[in-house]
Structures are given as C-alpha cells and as structure tokens.
Structure 1
Amino acid sequence: MDQLQHILQTRFGYAEFREGQREIIERVLSGEDVVAILPTGMGKSLLFQLPAYLIDGAVLVISPLLSLMQDQVEQLKMLGEKRVVAINSFLSFEQREEALSRLRTYKFIFTSPEMLQNEYFQQRLSSISIAFIVADEAHCISQWGFDFRPDYLRISKSLQAFRHVNVLALTATATNEVIKDIEHTLLMKEPFEYIHSLDRPYIAYESYQVENQKEKLTWIINRVTNTTGPGIIYSQSRKKTQFYAQELQKKGVKVAYYHSKMDQEDRILIQQQFQQGHLDWICATNAFGMGIHKDNIRQIIHDHIPTSIANYMQEVGRAARDGKQSIATILYMQSDVEQAYFVAMQEFPEEQDIEIAYRKSNQVVLSETTQRILDYWKKELSQQETINLFQRIRQKKWREIQDLYTLLQNEVCIREQLLAHFGQRLTRKPKNCCSKCTLNLQEIFQLHEKTTVNTTKLDWKSRLNSLL
C-alpha cells in the first residue's frame, strides 16, 4: 500500500479514491497549479485535506461563505483535526487577535476574499510557512468578482507575496471563459486542468411552462404533498419563500423558509434542522445551499428561470449526492425572463451611478453593493471604460438568461443542452433523463404518509431548546 492509499484509509476512512482524486492530489504534491472541476458530491474537500498531511506548512483556504467555512472546520474536527481555524467576521476582535497570534500552530486556515485584503492578516500569513493555497468554489471569482464582490478580483494582489506557492482551484461548474478568469486571477502558471463530466445521471430534469403564479403554487403544493423529499424550493423572492412555506405548513409539511435577510441564528438553526432531518423541505432564495452537506436531497424545484445555466447547475447539483434517483424541476412563465434579468441587474450600477461615483463630491447614496463595486472599478478604469465594462456585463447577463429560456422552450434533450453549455457531450442517457426524452414519474416518486407538525411560530431560542 502506497502512502496516499494509507492516509486515505487510516485518516479518512475510504477504501479507494474516486475518479480523478489521486491524479489531482499527485499534481498538488508535485507543486503544480491545478484547476479541478468536479460535480457536487465527488469529494472535492479531500483534494486539499489529504495532501496537507504530506507537506510542511499550513494550507490556506479562500472560501466565499461563512457557513461554508464553518462547515469545513466542523468536518475536519470530526476527523480528529484540531489544528484548524476560520478567520472571518464571525470572530470578535479578541478572538481574531488570539487566532492571529497562534497562526503558525494551525494546519488549515480558512478565510474570505475580504479578510485576505487585511494588511495585518497578510503580514501574519507572510510570517508562516504556507504549503499551498486553495480557492474553494472558484467559479465565484468570475461570477461574483466583477459584479458582486470585487474582493475576488483583488485576490491577485494578495497572492503576489505567495508566487512561490502553488494554488488549487476547486469548483463544480465552469465554462472555458470562467476557467480563464480563475487562472488569471489566481496568477496560475501553466496549470493542470482536470475537468470531470458535469453530467449527474441520477438527476432527472423536467420543465413546465405555466400561465400564472396561482398555477405555480397549485403545482408546488400538489408535488410536495404527494411525493417524497427532502427537497429545496428555490425562489428569487424572499416574500415568496415565506408564502410557500406558510401554505405548505397548512398542509402538514415539515418546512421552513430561508433567505439572506433573516437573523444569522435563524439561518444556522434552519440549516441544522434540514441537515439533521427535522425538516423535509426548505423554501429558499439562492442564499441557501452552498456548503450544505446533505446526501439525500431528492428534489430541487425552481419557481423561476435562474439567472444563468451555471447558477442552475450549481443549485440542482445539491440533489442526489448519495447516487440515488432525484429530480430537478423548473416552473416558469414567459414573464420570468424579464424578472430574472431584473434580479440579476438590481445591484448593478447604471450609467448615471457611474458618472456620480466618478465625481469628486458624491452626494447621492448608492446601495452598499453598488458602492463597493464602483469603489473597486474607480481605481482600475476610467469612467468611460467602467461604463463600457458594465454594458458588456449587462449584455452577457441577458444572453445567459436567454440561453436558459431557449433551452427550456425547444424540443432538444435538457441534459444534452446543459452539458453542451460547458463544452461537454452526453455519451449515455439515463433511463430517466428529462421531460423532453424519457421520464417515468411513477418510478421516481414514492407516495409517503403525510405527517402533521406544530406550525406555531417560535423564536429561534425556543425552537433550539425544543430540539435539544
């Protein structure tokens, strides 16, 4: 038994590597930059956790979400690893100072792109030995950096001090354009690219065009109350997540809603309830899902057209991690195309916002996100170049939404089109493929007994006490 196999079995409890894992790990160990694109559930965490034990120094993991960091930290602790820390805004000033003073004692250091910009944190990192750097959910560099969190684009400057350290970029979905963005931003040198097929044969795809919102609601209630979960219902509207949850609760469904404007304590509690099986369904915006480790999600339902095929693939990829049959459904109306564009654009600076931002005396109050975006681009581009950049981004966003709408409207296999978007070909159709090919819903679903739940609204502390 070689050393990699020995660590895989003794520390992680697996008998064999999954496809691609050994090759990627060997490249990391040889000091190469690596871009690894593997579907959700293919064991991406192992790709940086295992080689960490064969290289001196700490592994720095750049992660997009606080919940994702915390989940990774808990995973490692469950494996018996105590030398792990997440340095982010969750920590108080005192906790952060304590963590930074003990930085050289950690094997795994998780942080955010924003925290990476902190000058004192950068100094502390420079004083310790870094084995290699990981960019988790690396598609966010391209999809979020230009128009949502420019600190992703600042990663390049932060990495200048670590040019001698190799970088591993991990994601579940990326087009060729996104891969180029990742490699450029992470200063990669002739990176090895491992691109696994993005096909998830155990996820069947279906789409239904409906006439109005009432028809959507009726469909959702019928599907959820007559089929098995667990499942996630995605909506672009925070109000709709609450509305769906309330209507389903009336039918005795164990369900909760989730969105970014909720209290942090409530969100953590709902995630835990769903992961532990106390809830069967979650009605959520796209704020829910990244970093959620639940193997048996059977259904993903979208009540709208997502803002891109890549986003859609990320969200449906949360189903069928256990390799058992699941289904992903899109309910849509023609007007959802304009709504999707509005949602995608709502934080984008208009031309007049850009003109205001470039004036020396900015008296107009912009949204926090818009201000953050423009603060970054003011330092990088001229006013006209920034206007041109966002015109291109707007056109790109519109094309991405239209591509998904066209995919739903035509008669071509949904699975084939999803893969073609990422430059891949479908080699074998599963028995239950999509609503345009073959789909036996009776075979996919099993009727389950309805259970009644107490739908009395409690505050989060009361609900936590009732669970414990």
Structure 2
Amino acid sequence: MDKLTKVLTNKFGYDSFREGQKEIIEHVIAGQDVVAILPTGMGKSLLYQLPGYLMEGAVVIVSPLLSLMQDQVEQLKMLGEKRVVAINSFLSFEQKEMVFRNLSTYKFIFTSPEMLQNERFNHALSSIRIAYIVADEAHCISQWGFDFRPDYLRIAKWLQQFRQTNVLALTATATSNVVKDIKSTLLMREPYEYIHSLDRPAIAYEAVEVENTQEKLAWILGRITSTSGPGILYTQSRKKTEMYANELQKRGIRVAYYHAKMDQDDRILVQQQFQQGQLEWICATNAFGMGIHKDNIRQIIHDHIPTSIASYMQEVGRAARDGVQSIASLLFTATDVEQAFYVAMQDFPEEADIRLAYKSDNIQLQLPETTARILEYWKEVLTEQETTNLFQTIKQKKWTEILRLYTILQNGVCIREQLLHYFDEQLTTRPVHCCSKCSLHINEIIDNRKQPTENREELDWKMQLDKLLRS
C-alpha cells in the first residue's frame, strides 16, 4: 500500500480513491498550482484535506459561506482532527485575538475573502508556515467577484505576499472563461487542470411550462404530496419559501423553509435536520445548498428560471450524490425571464449610482450596502467611464445567460445535451431517464407515497417543538 492510500485508509476510512483524486493530490503535494473541476459528490473536500497530513505547515482554505465553513470544520472534527478553526464573524473580537495568537497550532484554517483584508489576520498568517492555499467553490471568483463580492478580486493582491505556496482551486462547475478568471485572480503559474465530466447520468431533467403562478403552485403541491423525497424546492423569494413550507406542512409534509434573512442558528438547525432526515423537504432560496452533505436527495424542483446555467447546475447537482436515480424539475412561464433578470440586477449599480460614487467620498451613506461595496472596489481600479462600460457589459451577459437557459428549457433539443454543450462538453452516452424531451418515466424514478399525506397523523416531534418555541 503506497503512502497516499495508507493515509486515505487510516485517516478517512476509504480503501481506494475516486477517479482523478489521486492525481490531483499528487500535484498538490508536488507544489504545483491546481484547478480541479469535479461534480458535486465527487469528494472535493478530500483533495485539500489529505495532502495536509503529508506536508508541513497549515492549510488555508478560502470559503464563500459561513455555513459551508462551519460544516467543513465539523466534518474534520468528526474525523478526529482538533487542529481546525473557522475565522469569521461567528467569533467575537476576543476569540479572534486568541486564535491569531495561537495560529501556528492549527492545521486547517478556514476563512472568507473578506477576512483576507484584515491586517491583524494577515500579520498572524505571515508568522506561520503555510503548506498551500485552497480556493473552495472557486467559481465564486468569477460568478460573484465582479458584481457582488469584490473581495474575491482582492485575493490577487493578498496572494502576492504568499506566492511561495501553491494554490488549489476547487469547484463543481466552470466554463472556460470562468477557469481563466480563476487562474488570473489566483495568480496561477501553469496550473495542472483536472476537469471531470459534468454529466450526472443519475439525474433526469424535467422542464414544465405552465400558464401562471397558480398552476405552478398546484403542480408543486401535487408532486411533493404524491411522491417521496428527500428534496429541495428552490424559489427566488423569501416570502415564497415560507408560503410553500406552510402549504406543505398543512398537508403533512415534514418541511421547513430556509433563506438568508433567517438567524444563523435557525439556518444551521434546519440544515442539520434535513441532513439527519428529520425533514423531508426544504423550501429555499439559493442561499441553501453549499456544504450540504446528504447523499440521498431524490428531487430538486425550481419554480423559476435561475439567473445562470452554472447556478442551475450547482443546485440540481445536489441530487443523487449516491448515484441512485433522481430528478430535477423546473417550472417556468414566459414572464419568468424578466423576473430572473430583475432578481439578477437587484444590487447592480445604475449609471446614476456610478456617477454619485465618483463624485462622493462617502457613498456608504448614500447607496445600498451591496451597491456601495461594489462601487468602492471599482472606484479604486477603473475610471468612471470604464466602470459604466463594465456594468453595461455584465448586464448584457446576464441577460444573454438567462435567455440561453430559457431557450434550453423551451426548445425541442435534449436538455442534458445542451447543458453539457454550455460547458464545452459533448454527450457521449444518453441514460435511460434523460430528460422530458428525450426519455423520461416519472413513475419509475420517484416512489409514489403509499398513503395520502393528508392522513399522516404526526409530524416529526422536533419540528413541532421548534414551531412552539418560535411562536
């Protein structure tokens, strides 16, 4: 047994590597920059965890979401690793100071792009040995950095002081243009690239065009109450997550809602209940999903057109991690295109916002928080006209992206084939249950419930207790 397999067995309890894992790990240990694109469920966490046990120094993992960080920390602790910490807003000032003083005692250090701008943190990092740096969910660099969280773009400047170490970028979806953004922002030097097929044969795609929102609601309630999960229902509105959950609870479904405006503790509780099987369904915005380790999700339902094909693939990719047949269903109307564009543009600076930002020294008081944060970054690096041109270009790209997804749903061509083509991949083998335009037998994919859900006598007792405590 070679050294890598021995660590795999002793530390992680696996007998063999999945396709691509060993090659990626070998390149990381050799000190090479690596871009690895593997679908959800292919074991991306192992790629940054295992090499850490064969190299001196700490592993710094830049992660996009607090819930994702906490979940990854808990995973490592369950494996018996005590030298792990997440440095984020969960920690008080005193706790952060204590962590900074003892940073050299940690093997795995999780943090956010925003925390990389903290001088005290960087001072502490510069005093320890770093084995390598990980950009988890690296597609966020391109997907969020330019128009939502510019601290992703500031990673390039931050990395200049740590370029003696190599960088591992991990994601489940990335086009060739996104890969270019990742390489550029992470200052990669001739990186090794591993791109696994994004095709998930165990996920069937279903596109359903309906007339209006009432028809959508009837379809969704009918599908969920007549078939079994576990499943995730994605919607764009926080109010809708609560409405769907309420309607389904009335019908005896073990369900909860999840969105970004909930208290962090409540979000963590819902996530844990779903992962442990106490909840059968989650009604959520796209705030839910990253870091979810649940192998047996059987259904993903969208009641809208997502704002990008990459987002859609990330979300449906949470199904069938165990390889068992599952289905992703998307309901849409002709007016959903405009609604998707509106959602995508909510925090975007208008030309008037850009003019104001370049005239004022204090835009935090004059513009919404996200818009101000975006413009503060671009004001540092571009002229007013360049910023205006940039956001006109981004706006046009987003509109084109939404239209492209709408076209995929509406035309007569295989959905799977078109989605793969978007990522420069060809469909080589068509599964038995492919999509609603090719071959799809719903009753063979989803189990029908053995009894009407209205006759179910009780919900999970923890859900009832939570509801009472919150009322």
Deviation readout 1:186-238 (Å, 9 max, x if unpaired): 00000111000000000000000000000000000110011110100000011
> In structure 1, what is the equivalent of residue 207 of structure 2?
207
Output one character per residue of 1:410-464: Cα deviation in whole Å (capped at 9) or x when no partner. 1110000010000001110111000000001111111224334459997859659
Q: Corresponding residue for 2:110?
A: 110
Q: Which residue of 2 aligns with 1:408?
A: 409
Alignment match, 1:396: 397
3-state DSSP class of the match of 2:123? helix
Q: Distance in 2 between matches of 1:351 and 1:459?
A: 50
Q: CA deviation at 1:263?
A: 1.4
State the shift of 1:365 in Å.
2.1
CA gap of 1:452–1:261, structure 2 versus 1, over 3 A, is farther
Q: Does 1:246 align with 2:252?
A: no
Alignment root-mean-square deviation, CA: 1.5
Instruction: Pick which of 451-460 and 360-369 moved more.
Output: 451-460
Q: Distance in 2 between matches of 1:453 and 1:337?
A: 40
Q: Greater CA deviation, 68-77 or 353-362?
A: 353-362
- Mapped partners of 1:344, 1:285: distance in 2: 13
Distance 1:284 1:295 in 2: 18
1:117-170 deviation digits (Å, cap 9, x = unpaired): 101111110110000000000000000001110000000111111111000000
- How many residue pairs match? The answer is 464
Q: Distance in 2 between matches of 1:462 and 1:195?
A: 48
Whole-angstrom distance in 1 between the partners of 2:384 and 2:331: 40
Contact 2:253 2:459 in 1 (8 A): no
Partner residue, 1:229: 229
SS across alignment from 1:45: helix
Distance 2:411 2:392 in 1: 28
**Residue in 1 that maps onto 2:387:** 386
1:433 maps to which residue? Answer: 434
> 2 CA distance for matches of 1:38 and 1:79?
23
- Which string of whole-angstrom CA distances, capped at 9 and with x for unpartnered residues, describes residues 253-272 of structure 1? 11111111111121111111
Residue 339 of structure 1 corresponds to 339
Q: CA 1:353 to 1:460, structure 2 compared with 1: closer, same or farther past 3 Å?
A: farther
**Corresponding residue number in structure 2 for 1:267:** 267
In 2: Cα distance, 1:167 partner to 1:355 partner:
38
CA distance in 1, matches of 2:67, 2:239: 23
Greater displacement, 283-292 / 445-454: 445-454
1:38-437 equivalence runs, <5 A = 38-360=38-360, 365-437=366-438
Distance 1:81 1:461 in 2: 35
Q: What is the distance in 1 between the residues matched to 2:124 and 2:26?
A: 29
- C-alpha separation in 1, matches of 2:460 and 2:19: 45
What secondary structure is seen at the aligned counterpart in 2 of 1:205?
strand
- 1:8 partnered with 2:8: yes
2: CA distance between counterparts of 1:95 and 1:301?
A: 41
Contact 2:85–2:109 at 8 Å: present in 1 too? yes
Q: Would the aligned equivalents of 1:297 and 1:318 in 2 still touch at CA under 8 Å?
A: yes
Distance 1:200 1:110, change over 3 A: same
The alignment partner of 1:349 has SS state of: coil
On the 8 A contact 2:274/2:280 being kept in 1, the answer is: yes
Alignment partner of 1:40: what SS?
coil
Name the SS for the 2:114 alignment partner: helix
Deviation at 1:360, TM superposition (A): 2.9
Taking a change above 3 Å as real, the CA distance of residues 459 and 387 of structure 1, as seen in their structure-2 partners, is farther
* 1:250 Cα offset (Å): 1.0
Corresponding residue SS for 1:161: helix
- Give the TM-score normalised by the residue count of structure 2: 0.96
Identity of aligned residues (%): 70
- 1:112 deviates by 0.3
SS at match of 1:193: strand
Structure 2 SS opposite 1:232? strand
1:253/1:453 contact within 8 Å kept: no
Alpha carbons 2:63, 2:136 under 8 Å: kept: yes
Distance in 1, matches of 2:265 and 2:28, equals: 37
Give the whole-Å Cα distance in 2 for the aligned partners of 1:93 and 1:458.
36
CA contact (8 A) 1:34 1:169 kept: yes
How big is each residue's C-alpha offset from its partner over 1:374-427, in whole Å with a ceiling of 9 and x where there is no partner? 010000100000000000000000010011001011111000001000000111
Q: Report the Cα distance in structure 1 between the residues aligned to 2:464 and 2:7, rounded to whole angstroms.
A: 46
1:21 matched residue in structure 2: 21
For residue 41 of structure 1, report the CA deviation from its aligned partner: 0.2
- Report the Cα distance in structure 1 between the residues aligned to 2:200 and 2:130, rounded to whole angstroms: 35
Secondary structure, counterpart of 2:134 in structure 1: strand
Looking at structure 1, the residues matched to 178 and 170 of structure 2 have their Cα atoms a distance apart, in angstroms, of 12
Instruction: Extract unaligned runs of 5+ from structure 1.
Output: none
| Paired residues of 2:134 and 2:167 also in contact (CA < 8 A) | yes
Aligned to 1:70, what secondary structure does the other structure show? helix
For the residues of structure 1 that align with 2:121 and 2:36, how far apart are their CA atoms? 27
Kindly provide the CA deviation profile for residues 329-356 of structure 1, in whole angstroms up to 9, marking residues without a partner as x: 0000000000000000010000000001
Q: 1:88 to 1:9 in 2, by over 3 A?
A: same
